Chains A and B, each alone.
Chain A
Amino acid sequence: MLEADVEVDRRDFTVLASISVAPGERLALFGPSGAGKTTLLEAIAGLVPPRKAMITLSGRVLTSTGKPGIALPPWQRKVGLLRQDPGLFPHLSVRDNLLYAMRGAQDLAELGELADALGIAGLLAAMPARLSGGQAHRVALGRLLLAHCDALLLDEPYTGLDASLRRTLTDLVISLVAERRVPSMLVAHELAETQAFADRLAVLDQGKVLQTGSPGEVVLRPASRRVAELVGYAGFVPVPGSAGTVAGVHPDRVTAGSHPNRGLVLSGTVTRCRPAGVLWEITVRTSSGSRATLVARLPEAAPTGQDIVLTVLEPPCFGLDGTAVGIGESAGLPR
């Protein structure tokens, strides 16, 4: 169990977070760049001194600013941190990098097993400079696991790797975390990456945890308008008949035509249409009620200037103060 209650001062704000991760659980921290995600991980790893904190891992106190004050140095924490830069020691072969944290020879069988699982068994004699990005990450991951860390912290580890490699590495980490029952945390600023990894997702902004929930829940039921913006809701349209309430429109949760039983029906005029992958990104100026702009990704193109009717599927609705007031019908959408 990893429990961290942390206050760290940054230049422009204070990171104030309280998280707990069970053994074998995977928590992802999602948030924009500069939200304080890395700071939180570094405070847990002991690289950044917190102003106020209580951090425990498997019953051991790592940091405590109470009395008596405790601040274990990084080398006594047994916290594994994997970053974008794999940080392999360039003067050591892959084998020696993997063995770096091992004390004694009893684990050599484990080295072989893990190298097989990671697909790096054929690279043990190679020097890190010869490895590709994905191979270097596998070795760095293997090194952390052989160090028998009590927690695994992944700080944007896959940035710069291609999509299929990310998927393979994510699956690998998931199975290894489950097998070793260590609490693990992943930090990323790409939603899809965190969703692929996590069984719990925390949204961090300006140093504060705005919402924690299942990866699906956070996206479909954002707790506030700010969370909705962070997870990709690109438009907010007034809900007819309830003053001050807006419905969040996610470009991918819009369908063409009028389907009043599935959500909020809007009509408007197409102001722009451009390709987005295999879909068309359509910007619409609504005409029903007060005017607003929304973006939808639809399979069919629509010429600029054309009138269009859209249904926003089960939109989350937010009150004047930005907090969620419900989904679709429960928020009082007219049928």
Chain B
Amino acid sequence: MSLAASADPAIVTPPAPRGGGPGGVAVPRKLRSVNRSLALAGTGLIWIALLGPVIALLTHLSWHAITSSLSAPGAFEPLILSVQSGAVTLGVLVLLGTPLAWALARGALPFPRVWETGVLASLLLPPLVVGLLLVFLVGPYTPIGHVLSGLHLSATDTFLALVIAQVYESAPYYVLGAQAAFAGVDPRLEQQAALLGDPPGRAFRRVTVPLAAPGLAMALAIAWARAMGAFGAVVIIAYHPTALPLQIWTTLQETGLPSALPFALVLLVVALPLPLAAYIWSARARGRRRG
């Protein structure tokens, strides 16, 4: 057959039947549908496994536990504190992390690998270790601690300490995400904006940021979720004032799992909407661009 085909290229050879014998075409089709259902089942399993903890949380919560835990005096103070410090953390990330991410994406820094390694280090270090090391960096007996106390500030067991811990835990997520978002913007479009009369700052505002916005929003949302849930570094340098994750931890220690669960629900409710909104918004923005 292959000989005949090579002798006369005008003859189109039909695809060889797979499986062989009569009905050789039908068997693979059936196999394919089995394959597809297996893949679907596998994906579903993974999805359920990933969401398992959330499902467990929802099934183990009792209405009574929620009302009694959340009606205690001062029950919502940690929540308010977490939201406040999280907002400050996001502000710090946007102000300091955005220029760094842009410079990394455009290769504008000397020794880019060194900078990237620095960002990765804070991602790869266990948060607990980061917390311990922060004591040596900003603790009361360090040079930075001295400067801070001269300003009547302290970076241990204060709101400032909480923000510092959250920044360290969430910064790499934002910087790496924003770097990817900026890298996705074609530099020729920025050049085009310059040729049309925009100085770099205006081109950044009118072209780079809008084009990177979906990715930036996702990076910021993930950083928010990380900051809200920051625990390892927080427990070392900011045990007080009590943020939401620490409240869960202390409640668990003092009164047990059932009364800690409602706060876990609160944490999810606070931490998740922003990432979800960012996801939906960036999907829409991308869809709009496709016209």
Contact at A91–B188, with CB atoms within 8 Å?
no
User: Which has the most chain B C-beta neighbours within 10 Å: A47, A89, A126?
Assistant: A89
- C-beta contact mask, A234-265 vs B, less than 8 Å → 1, else 0? 00000000000000000000000000000000
Q: What residues on B are CB-neighbors of A147 within 8 Å?
A: 196-197
Q: Is A74 within 8 A of B289, CB to CB?
A: no
Q: Which of B157-210 contact A (CB under 8 A)?
A: 188-189, 191-199, 203, 206-207, 210
The winner among B197, B206, B210, B291 for most chain A CB atoms within 10 A is B197
Given contacts A85-B188, A87-B188, A89-B207, contact A75 B289 (CB under 8 A): no
Assess the B194–A75 pair: CB atoms within 8 A.
Answer: yes
Known: A91-B210, A130-B291. Is A100-B196 also a contact (CB below 8 A)? yes
Q: B288: CB under 8 A from chain A? A: yes
Q: Which of B198, B207, B290, B291 has the most A CB atoms < 10 Å from its CB? A: B291
Q: Mark A296-313, 1 if CB is under 8 A from B, else 0.
A: 000000000000000000
From B191, B194, B198, B289, contact of A90 by CB (8 A) = B289
* Minimum Cβ distance to chain A for residue B284 (Å): 12
Interface size class of B (residues with CB under 8 A): 20 to 34
**Residues from 63 to 84 in A contacting B, C-beta threshold 8 Å:** 73-81
CB distance from B118 to the nearest CB of A (A): 31
Q: Contact check, B188 vs A127: say whether CB atoms are below 8 A apart.
A: no
Inter-chain CA distance A130–B289, complex, in Å, is 9
Cβ distance B204 to chain A, nearest Cβ, rounded Å = 12
Per the 8 Å Cβ criterion, residues 45-102 of B in contact with A are none
A292 interface residue per 8 A CB criterion: no
Q: How far is the CB of B53 from chain A (nearest CB, A)?
A: 37
Check if A81 sits within 8 Å of B195, measured CB to CB.
yes
Q: Are the C-beta atoms of A75 and B189 separated by less than 8 Å?
A: no
Which among A73, A89, A100, A129 is the interface contact of B291 at CB below 8 angstroms? A129
Contact of B196 among A85, A90, A128, A143 (CB under 8 A): A143
B130 beta carbon closer than 8 Å to chain A: no
Q: Return the contact of B192 from the options A78, A87, A126 (Cβ within 8 A).
A: A87
Is there an interface contact between B192 and A91, defined as CB atoms closer than 8 Å?
no
Given the contacts A87-B189, A91-B210, A78 and B197 also touching, CB distance less than 8 Å: yes
Cβ–Cβ contact A101 & B210, under 8 A? no
* Closest beta carbon of chain B to A205's beta carbon, Å: 27
- In the complex, which residues 234-291 of chain B have their Cβ closer than 8 Å to any Cβ of chain A? 285, 288-291
Question: What distance in Å separates the Cβ of A83 from its nearest Cβ neighbour in chain B?
Answer: 8
How long is the Cα–Cα vector from A126 to B194 in the complex, in angstroms? 24
Q: Scan residues 33-49 of chain A and give those whose CB is less than 8 A from a CB of chain B.
A: 45, 47
Which of B188, B196, B199 neighbours the largest number of chain A CB atoms within 10 Å of its CB?
A: B196
How far apart sit A47 and B191, CA to CA, in the bound complex (Å)? 8
B195 touches A79 (CB 8 A): yes
Contacts of A126 in B (CB 8 A): 291
Bitwise, A132-148 to B at CB < 8 A (1) or not (0) is: 00000000000110010
Q: Is B211 an interface residue (CB 8 A)?
A: yes
Q: Are A80 and B195 in contact (CB under 8 A)?
A: yes
Q: Which of B195, B198, B199, B289 contacts A129 (CB 8 A)?
A: B289
Contact between chains at A129 and B290 (CB < 8 Å) = yes
Query: What residues of A have a CB within 8 angstroms of the CB of B199 in the complex?
Result: 73, 75
| Chain A, 97-145, CB within 8 A of any chain B CB | 100-101, 126-130, 143-144
Q: Is there contact, CB below 8 Å, between B196 and A73?
A: no
- How far, in Å, is B144 (CB) from chain A's closest CB? 40
B2 to chain A, nearest CB (A): 31
Residue of A85, A90, A129 with highest tally of chain B CB at under 10 A: A90
**Chain A residues engaging chain B, CB cutoff 8 angstroms:** 45, 47, 73-81, 85, 87, 89-91, 100-101, 126-130, 143-144, 147
Q: Which 6 A-B pairs have the closest CB atoms?
A: A127-B291, A130-B291, A101-B196, A87-B192, A74-B194, A129-B291
Beyond known contacts A75-B196, A87-B189: 8 more, CB 8 A cutoff = A73-B194, A74-B195, A75-B198, A87-B192, A89-B189, A91-B285, A91-B288, A129-B290
6 contacts between A and B (CB under 8 A): A75-B194, A81-B195, A91-B211, A91-B289, A127-B288, A143-B196
